[in-house]
């Protein structure tokens, strides 16, 4: 059943695939999202508690003294935000709301957003990226990493959805 508010998923997918291909062809790299969020986290927490954050070995590569946010992934994320904002505004699809499952309370929703986010933030660091950087980019490259991620992500998702039927149904 076609949802009239959006493009056909095949058209959206073709535009996404063409964008990814252009990034491969011109810049020799794929898309990504979680790395930029980690970079902003490392830099902002370093500004607040420099001694504590400065000691974290994993964040060492993210903490750079000169213009840390002048970074490819950050600019990609800015584009991602502006592109989707323009798209939502121009099509009348922009609406401020707390989106949640039908039977979910407001506090439950805030809690699921936060805990799911924490889990994803942690998992993406372990996996070296997220749906964009590993599944999509790696999947298109036929990289083993990409297909490990695609298969485990969907398998785990189906199991959790079966256990938590009321979450989104």
Partner 1 sequence: MTAPFEVSEAVSLGLAVVFGLFFGLSLERGGLGNPHKLTGIFYLRDFTVPKVMFTAIVVACIGLYLLSDLHLLDMDRVWIIPTFFWPQLVGGTLFGVGYVISGYCPGTAVVGLASGRIDALVMIFGIGAGSLLFAILFPYLEEFYLSTDMGSPTLPELAGLNHWVIIVPLVAFAGVMFFVMEKYEKKDSAQ
CB of 39 to partner 1, least distance (A): 9
Q: In whole angstroms, how close is the CB of 106 to partner 1 at the nearest point? A: 10
The alpha carbons of the chain give a radius of gyration, in whole angstroms, of 18
CB of 50 to partner 1, least distance (A): 14
Q: Which is nearer to partner 1, 65 or 106 (CB)?
A: 106
- Report residue 102 as tokens: 């039908």
Return the number of the residue (15 or 50) whose C-beta is nearest partner 1.
Answer: 15
By beta-carbon proximity to partner 1, the closer residue of 65 and 144 is: 144
Q: Which is nearer to partner 1, 65 or 74 (CB)?
A: 74
CB-based burial, 39-48: b 16+ in 10 Å, e otherwise: bbebbeebee
Q: How far is the CB of 151 from partner 1 (least distance, A)?
A: 7
What are the CA-CA distances from residue 128 to residues 8, 49, 144, 149 (Å)? 31, 25, 13, 10
Q: Are 135 and 34 in contact (CB under 8 A)?
A: no
In whole angstroms, the minimum distance from the beta carbon of 150 to partner 1 comes to: 8
Comparing CB distances to partner 1, the nearer of 65 and 99 is 99
**Nearest Cα to Cα of residue 32 among 140, 108, 131, 159:** 131
Residues 123-137 as b/e (b if ≥16 CB within 10 A, e otherwise) read ebeebebbbbbbbbb
């Amino acid at each position: 059943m076609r949802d009239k508010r959006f493009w056909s998923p095949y058209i959206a997918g073709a535009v996404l695939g063409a964008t990814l291909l252009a990034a491969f062809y011109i810049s020799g790299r794929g898309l990504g999202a979680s790395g930029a969020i980690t970079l902003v986290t490392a830099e902002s927490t370093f500004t607040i508690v420099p001694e504590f954050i400065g000691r974290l070995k994993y964040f060492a590569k993210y903490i750079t003294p000169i213009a840390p946010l002048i970074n490819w992934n950050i600019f990609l994320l800015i584009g991602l935000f502006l592109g989707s904002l323009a798209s939502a505004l121009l099509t009348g699809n922009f609406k401020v709301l707390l989106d949640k499952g039908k039977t979910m309370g407001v506090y439950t929703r805030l809690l699921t957003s936060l805990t799911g986010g924490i889990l994803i933030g942690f998992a993406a660091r372990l996996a070296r990226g997220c749906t964009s950087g590993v599944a999509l980019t790696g999947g298109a490259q036929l990289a083993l990493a990409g297909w490990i991620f695609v298969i485990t992500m969907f398998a785990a998702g189906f199991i959790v959805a079966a256990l938590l039927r009321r979450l989104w149904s």
